Structure 1
């Protein structure tokens, strides 16, 4: 059984961890010509981490490095970031104006593209006005570093997973194309052999007919 002191300590740790929680958005969607997403950011000075990967096209026969465009704008409509013709990208920016930020994708290829999109907002509340004990400062600093490390691992894992999914789909499509190419080449070889046999038989038949005459 946990005594009262341990229970209070547990509540204290939970309350300490609450300010470190991060807003996160991770989606995978199919895009035709364009798609826009909005994300509200409550605090100026927060760091926004963004990544996207073009996973696949809607046809296994299509493969290109055309990529997609991504434009990020703040609540006033000012452009914060611009990625052009990329199959994957990862970047971050600092929030200068709190409010709704827009993330707009543009697809210039004639095919539907499946895109993996990830947004994380890093926010850390400072406790200088609340902490009275001189030992709280180092404790919160260590908790902040731990939270940042865990977040970086999660963000990188999502990025690598999306990249792995894209490569797996590309490899599968290349294998399908190789199999179809081999089948077509085999069919062409068989057809050429059949034509050669037919021509040789006609040639021999003509020679035999001529010799009889």
Structure 2
């Protein structure tokens, strides 16, 4: 019995390994347009997509214009789009397997840093080849569990990107507020100095007139 249990444990580990999907998140800088390709092997799979515009290449620039994302299938037909958004998260069902293209368009005159994540969810359904009749439903549950775990990771990554964006925006706003306060203080001091100078000139002229 112990030998059989050890064998089953090894089989389960080997069966779990194909389901462990690595994270496909990237962070890149876009000028005008940037496209990425991702191969989807099965029709009916669910593709999860998220992106967040983290920051612009200048701390003085702040805009809610966002970017455009257009998704096209292997035939070039548009299957999903997201317009003028600084962040978005969506999913779609694959109707045509093959290489899908994800194209970003930046309408801002500045370079933008974008955090982009894509994941293909696929459930494998196993035929009853093993003698143990419980193996097939167990494999299905393993696949569903792995997909649920990755969805949590996918959501967490999107929230972390949102947090990074907000932190950078807060830092830039604080920096602009400090520079604005310094500028206003310098302007106030300059105005005060000019005012004192003009008053002294005025009194000097009055004194000169009185003496005459």
TM-score if structure 1 supplies the norm length?
Answer: 0.93
> What's the CA shift for 1:136?
2.8
Tell me the equivalent position of 1:140.
139
Map 1:164-175 onto structure 2 (within 5 A): 164-175=163-174
Map 1:1-213 onto structure 2 (within 5 A): 4-22=3-21, 24-213=23-212
CA displacement, residues 33-86 of structure 1 (integer Å, 9 cap, x when unaligned): 000001111111111100000000000000010000000000001101011110
Partner-residue secondary structure (3-state), 2:27? strand
Comparing 133-142 and 91-100, the one that deviates more: 133-142
> What's the CA shift for 1:19?
4.1
Q: 2:66 touches 2:87 (CA, 8 Å); kept in 1?
A: yes
Partner-residue secondary structure (3-state), 1:25? coil
> What's the CA shift for 1:132?
4.8
Q: 2:123 touches 2:140 (CA, 8 Å); kept in 1?
A: no
> What's the CA shift for 1:115?
0.3
TM-score if structure 2 supplies the norm length?
Answer: 0.94
> What's the CA shift for 1:168?
0.4
CA displacement, residues 116-143 of structure 1 (integer Å, 9 cap, x when unaligned): 0000111111013435533234423432
> What's the CA shift for 1:6?
4.9
Aligned length: 211
